[in-house]
Amino acid sequence: NIQSYEDFFDLLPIISSKVKIRNGVVVFDRLSKKNPDPKLQFLIKTLISELIPWRKGPYDLIGMPIKSEWNCSLKWNRLASRIPSLENNVIMDVGSGNGYFAWRMREVGAKFVVCLEPSFASFMQFHFLNYFADDKNIRFLPMTLEESPKRQNLFDKIFMMGTLYHSKAPFEHIKNATTFLKGGGFLIIETLIFESYECSLFVPKDKYARMPNVWQIPSFLAIKSWLATLGFSSIELVSV
Percent of the chain whose predicted confidence (pLDDT) is above 90: 69
What pLDDT was estimated at residue 39? 83
| Rounded Cα–Cα distance for residues 35 and 27 (Å) | 17
**145-149, 175-179, 206-210: which has the minimum mean pLDDT?**
206-210
| Rounded Cα–Cα distance for residues 40 and 12 (Å) | 9
What pLDDT was estimated at residue 211? 80
Mean pLDDT estimate for the chain: 91
pTM more than 0.85: yes
What pLDDT was estimated at residue 2? 65
Per-residue pLDDT of 86-99, as tens digits, reads 999 999 999 999 99
> Stretch 19-28: mean pLDDT, rounded?
96
> Stretch 223-230: mean pLDDT, rounded?
96
Distances (CA, A) of 23 to 26, 57, 58, 80, 176: 9, 12, 10, 14, 34
**For the chain, what is the total number of helices (H) and then of strands (E)?**
6, 13
| Rounded Cα–Cα distance for residues 226 and 206 (Å) | 25
> Stretch 140-161: mean pLDDT, rounded?
92
| Rounded Cα–Cα distance for residues 117 and 96 (Å) | 6
Q: Are 118 and 94 in contact (CB under 8 A)?
A: no
- Note the Cα 172 to chain centre separation in Å: 20
Higher-confidence residue of 180 and 37: namely 180
